[in-house]
Each structure stands twice: as C-alpha cells, then as structure tokens.
C-alpha cells in the first residue's frame, strides 16, 4: 500500500497570498513529482526531483517553486497566488531502484484562488 | 519524440457492456506499460501493468496486453459496472531513469449508467 500524503485536500485563498502545498511519502522513494491537473483531467508535469537537493522544472511552465531538503518531503510554494493558479495539484513518488517502477500518488490538493 | 495517444472520451456505457479504451505510444526502447484509474475526488491509482511484450496485465476484471508490434496497450473489460465510472490514464514511463520526465496520456472518462 502506497503511503504518500498531501495537505491540505482543499484550499480557498485570496489573490496575492503565499501558499505552500505539502507532500510527504514514507516509502523512502528518491523520485518525486508534482502534476497539475486541468478541468479536462489531463496531467501536466510541473516539477520533479531525483533526490535531496535536486529539483527540475517539468514540461508545463509554472510560477511555483519546489524544494527537496529531505527525502520524504517535497513541498510546492506559490509566492503570490492568482486565479490562474486554480487547479488540482497531484504529488507522486517512485522507486529509483526499480526500472520503470510505477508512480504512487497522493489524493491531491484542490486549490481555488479568488 | 516519445508520445502516447489515448482514445478520447467521454465514453458512456450501460452496465454490463463491454469496454475498450485504446492506447498507442511511440517510444525509444520498450518501456513497461501501466494503466492508472482516478475515481472522483481522488488521486491516481495503479490499475494494472505489463513489463514486457506479450505480457497481459489484469486487475478487477480489467485486462491489457502489451503489443510490441502495434505499440499498443488497450484496456478492456467484458462487463462494466457503475463503480467503474472514473478517468483512466495510459502511462508508458518514457525516458531513462536519469531524465525523470514521466508523461501521461490525456485520460479517458468512463461513465457507466445503471
């Protein structure tokens, strides 16, 4: 059973606020990812990490930033939220030691910026 | 470049109908292949996988066969239930373990009516 947790599940905030979406996994996975899911359900990779102190931008341009100070923790931060950031954000992790290992997903954070 | 194409949705079926969701991909090398399912309000869950050509993955009555010659991994179920209503994602994890870029198909929404 996968153990990857995202908080909060739902967040409604005003424009201009700084927010951090939390993601933690207890499986010891080196690889972690953030996906943004649009209303049409398509997933867009916005950030990923191979391990501690490693972060890369994904395919979709994003104004968010991430950090990876500990293996188990991969938070995503928006310095100044805007209505265009309203979306579902999904965090995932995978095991580097297994070739083509599957991703394990959290339940997501649904963000609404008013 | 690497890509994945999924059958467009939404797909609407009556209970006990047969289901096929097509998925084809182009990739360098021959990755493992996965199908994920996303139930309303949740993150993605691994539904089934196949690790090499001619492998058949199966779970919860769903099946998919890894067809190397046609580069396809179509999802099938002989008799769908209302509880199968969800979004289904085909996922060949492209790229080597060094790139970390993992791209999903666009998702296919399935709605099963009683």
Query: For residue A73, which of A26, A38, A41 has the smallest C-alpha distance?
Result: A26
**How far is the alpha carbon of A114 from chain B, nearest alpha carbon, in Å?**
21
- Chain A CB contacts of B55 under 8 Å are none
For B91, the closest chain A residue by CA position comes to A102
Q: Which residues pair with B21 in a beta bridge?
A: B75
Check residues B94 and A75 and name the one with the higher pLDDT. A75
Say yes or no to pLDDT of A16 above 90: yes
Length of chain B: 114
Determine the pLDDT at residue B97: 36
Determine the pLDDT at residue B5: 84
Q: What is the C-alpha separation between A67 and A74, in angstroms, rounded?
A: 6
Helix (H, G, I), strand (E, B) or coil at A22: strand
- Asked whether the beta carbons of residue A41 and residue B102 sit closer than 8 angstroms, the reply is no
Determine the pLDDT at residue B64: 96
- Chain A CB contacts of B36 under 8 Å are 103, 105
Using CB atoms, which residue from A50, A59, A90 is nearest to B44?
A90
For residue A98, name the pLDDT band (cuts at 50, 70, 90). low
Least confident of A24-33, A86-95, A100-109: A100-109
Phi, psi angle pair for B82, to nearest 5°: -55, -35
Percent of chain A with pLDDT over 90: 71
Residue range A48-57, pLDDT digits in tens: 998 999 999 8
- Asked whether the beta carbons of residue A103 and residue B46 sit closer than 8 angstroms, the reply is yes
Q: What is the C-alpha separation between A42 and A54, in angstroms, rounded?
A: 26
**How far is the alpha carbon of A53 from chain B, nearest alpha carbon, in Å?**
15
For B87, the closest chain A residue by CA position comes to A41
Determine the pLDDT at residue B3: 74
Say yes or no to pLDDT of A24 above 60: yes
Determine the pLDDT at residue B38: 93
Determine the pLDDT at residue B101: 58
Say yes or no to pLDDT of A2 above 70: no
Check residues B2 and A36 and name the one with the higher pLDDT. A36
- Chain A CB contacts of B93 under 8 Å are 100, 103
Determine the pLDDT at residue B103: 67
Low-confidence ranges of chain B (pLDDT < 70): 1-2, 29-30, 92-103
């Amino acid at each position: 059973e996968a153990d990857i947790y995202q908080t909060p599940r739902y967040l409604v905030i005003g424009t201009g606020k700084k927010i951090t979406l939390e993601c933690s996994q207890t499986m010891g996975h080196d690889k972690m990812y953030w996906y943004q899911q649009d209303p049409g359900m398509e997933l867009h990779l916005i950030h990923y990490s191979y391990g501690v102190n490693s972060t890369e931008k994904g395919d979709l341009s994003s104004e968010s930033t991430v950090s990876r100070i500990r293996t188990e923790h991969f938070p995503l931060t928006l310095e100044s939220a805007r209505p265009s950031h309203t979306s579902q954000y999904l965090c995932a992790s995978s095991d580097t030691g297994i070739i083509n290992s599957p991703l394990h997903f959290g339940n997501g954070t649904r963000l609404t910026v008013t | 470049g690497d890509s994945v194409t999924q059958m467009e949705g939404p797909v609407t079926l009556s209970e006990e109908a047969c289901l096929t969701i097509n998925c084809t991909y182009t990739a360098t090398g021959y990755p493992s292949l996965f199908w994920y399912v996303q139930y309303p309000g949740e993150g993605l869950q691994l539904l089934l996988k196949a690790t090499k050509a001619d492998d058949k993955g199966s779970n919860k009555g769903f099946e998919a066969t890894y067809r190397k010659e046609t580069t396809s991994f179509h999802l099938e179920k002989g008799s769908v239930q209302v509880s199968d209503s969800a979004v289904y994602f085909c996922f060949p994890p492209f790229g080597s373990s060094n790139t970390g870029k993992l791209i999903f198909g666009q998702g296919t929404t399935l709605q099963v009516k009683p």
